[in-house]
Chain A
């Protein structure tokens, strides 16, 4: 796993009488999904690299309740939310960075009404901030210069919360060639996983949504498709596999690209 450092947990920090600057909310996909775990580790590497004092909840973390809420199960959502809020408040958490737009949306928008108010950012916003502060550059690692990258807007980051610029800012610093898909930003097409679709078979139709999206992405002739959401990552990677383009086109999270560019 080539992690050269230990990921601190809240329990450890608390035992040492310390408080982190920011809590990294990993999310279920980031915790269990093999592909997303890599992104999780890269986010940790970035946090470690810039020297931010952070921590994770580790085994004390639990689903935010997002898929239950979108599926219509408000009971289960609020059970999850209130349990999580209890943990977060007990640790006196003030600021949270999430590795997933769904966790981000839920904690930022739906937890305050249930007693959990925090400053919540998505990891692409953290990366943008670090670039703006000069703490992160694109040097010392893999060069993306001149490479063709297209960015897929996750619905729960873009339309749901109006965050379009932060992820693009993180790509601009690479001096790569950014190409937009026809449907991008507020007009971006969903990968097909939102609204709890990730956990079920699609309804009858004539095409899968992720294939529709991959077809559009491939029209830009990209070398890299950049994502910012573990669910989009799954859907887009599946699409690329289906099209047998795994060799030519890489689907990478903004955090992975950033980590690679900085040789982390």
Chain B
């Protein structure tokens, strides 16, 4: 009875804490500007099913796709086992689903095989990151915390899977000994090989089985509460992020409505724009971005596929699309903390542009969309870069000198080069 109450309290506390942090993230995302992404629901649903659920963009790189698939399927399916653990924990039962008979044996057997594949995949992932040191996992933005974050996630998953398999091994051994409570249930295709390593006494086995059971479930609850602080949040946000992703051609940049009004008024003096609040052009800080840009930032799992295909980054420039997303998340988190501490009106004098992302980075972009194409969850770093450029150019007139010259030429000669408009048709001379 004590353990049931303890279990209930732990679970409630974990869910409550997670809810508080989750709602903070939602609040932070809502600090972004409005953008309508509720059109074409059917197409959006299909995109989500294909890209997030079906992992369609992962297959470009087959080895990590294969390993990630195991971890992903393992994560989704082993959650059925967590349901059983929850019920057992609350009601003091043991292996409540064993009434399913053959199906139960099949399920437990399948979980064990999945647990093993997850375990192996995570070990290989750790090797890729820490021993092979793949280039994709390095870069200026991969400082201590992002590197540790990745390792914590992998080690936690390895520990959780180890506890699950050890628990089953002890359970199987107890079943064989005919111990009280330990009904004959389940199939143990993996953990049967661990049985030989375990002690033979019933007390020690019960201690081990219970120990692993508690470790496993506390581990899961702790992991749940780690998510809001971690890049691993993608396991939740990959789904809404793909659902609300841009469905228009990648080359299409938004036309700013606030500018349309002013340009119309300039071209046609009789045009009277509707009275609106004067709006800031482009983005200086995260709250000038739209909510999808901010959701993108929380969804990013820092895999680096974007950066590894970025022509600027490949040729040694400072720009890294992954850093753009990580900076955006760090800054919106900071803005959120400021609100918690000092209220909504507080200004800390910092901004995304300059304090996080430098001018050198935004001007190195070729807008080639390789980063957008590469992202397995449809994150769009390019949109953020363009918003920052818009601010630099339209609010500050701070474009690089050569671009100012180009824009001056367009204004004066209707071409980005200094040629006379009268010469525009000279190419057809000698007609």
User: Is residue A205 contacting chain B, with contact meaning CB distance below 8 A?
Assistant: yes
> Interface digits, B368-393 against A, CB 8 Å rule (1 contact, 0 not)?
11101100000000000010111111
- What's the nearest-Cβ distance from chain A to residue B295, in Å? 22
B417 CB contacts on chain A under 8 angstroms = 28, 32
> Interface digits, A20-46 against B, CB 8 Å rule (1 contact, 0 not)?
000000101011100001001100100
A159 CB contacts on chain B under 8 angstroms = 250-251, 368-370, 372-373
- What's the nearest-Cβ distance from chain A to residue B31, in Å? 23
Chain B interface size band reads: 35 or more
Choose among B60, B312, B314, B426 the residue that contacts A203 (Cβ–Cβ < 8 A): B312
Q: Is the CB of A190 within 8 A of B311?
A: yes
Q: Is the CB of B402 within 8 A of A206?
A: no
User: Is residue B407 contacting chain A, with contact meaning CB distance below 8 A?
Assistant: yes
- What's the nearest-Cβ distance from chain B to residue A115, in Å? 10
What are 19 A-B residue pairs whose CB atoms fall within 8 Å in the complex? A32-B417, A37-B427, A62-B414, A71-B399, A71-B406, A72-B392, A75-B263, A78-B260, A82-B263, A110-B253, A110-B255, A159-B370, A160-B250, A190-B366, A192-B366, A197-B366, A199-B403, A205-B364, A209-B314
B275 CB contacts on chain A under 8 angstroms = none
A30 CB contacts on chain B under 8 angstroms = 427
- In the complex formed, the residue of A with least CB distance to B400 is A200
Choose among B250, B253, B260, B364 the residue that contacts A69 (Cβ–Cβ < 8 A): B253
Known: A7-B428, A200-B400, A204-B318. A72 touches B386 (CB 8 A): yes
Cα(A113)–Cα(B255), bound, Å: 7
Q: Is the CB of B431 within 8 A of A5?
A: yes
Cα(A155)–Cα(B309), bound, Å: 13
B281 CB contacts on chain A under 8 angstroms = 74
Q: Is the CB of A58 within 8 A of B389?
A: no
- The residue among B399, B406, B430 with the most chain A CB atoms within 10 A of its own CB is B406
Q: Is the CB of B312 within 8 A of A109?
A: no
Q: Is the CB of A75 within 8 A of B262?
A: yes
A160 CB contacts on chain B under 8 angstroms = 249-252, 369
A209 CB contacts on chain B under 8 angstroms = 311-312, 314-315, 366
Choose among A28, A70, A114, A208 the residue that contacts B415 (Cβ–Cβ < 8 A): A28
- What's the nearest-Cβ distance from chain A to residue B396, in Å? 10
User: Is residue A174 contacting chain B, with contact meaning CB distance below 8 A?
Assistant: no
Cα(A28)–Cα(B417), bound, Å: 8
- What's the nearest-Cβ distance from chain B to residue A168, in Å? 18
Known: A72-B394, A79-B267, A212-B314. A203 touches B368 (CB 8 A): no
A109 CB contacts on chain B under 8 angstroms = 248-249, 251-252
User: Is residue B423 contacting chain A, with contact meaning CB distance below 8 A?
Assistant: yes
Q: Is the CB of B393 within 8 A of A73?
A: yes
Known: A28-B415, A190-B311, A203-B312. A80 touches B410 (CB 8 A): yes
Q: Is the CB of B393 within 8 A of A67?
A: no
Known: A5-B431, A68-B410, A155-B369. A202 touches B364 (CB 8 A): yes
Q: Is the CB of B402 within 8 A of A76?
A: no
User: Is residue A150 contacting chain B, with contact meaning CB distance below 8 A?
Assistant: no
B368 CB contacts on chain A under 8 angstroms = 155, 159, 190, 194-195
Segment 244-260 of B: residues with Cβ below 8 Å from A? 248-253, 255-256, 259-260
A75 CB contacts on chain B under 8 angstroms = 259, 262-263, 394
User: Is residue A132 contacting chain B, with contact meaning CB distance below 8 A?
Assistant: no
User: Is residue A61 contacting chain B, with contact meaning CB distance below 8 A?
Assistant: yes
Cα(A196)–Cα(B255), bound, Å: 17
User: Is residue A141 contacting chain B, with contact meaning CB distance below 8 A?
Assistant: no
- What's the nearest-Cβ distance from chain A to residue B26, in Å? 30
- In the complex formed, the residue of A with least CB distance to B250 is A160
Q: Is the CB of A155 within 8 A of B407?
A: no
- In the complex formed, the residue of A with least CB distance to B60 is A187
- In the complex formed, the residue of A with least CB distance to B431 is A6
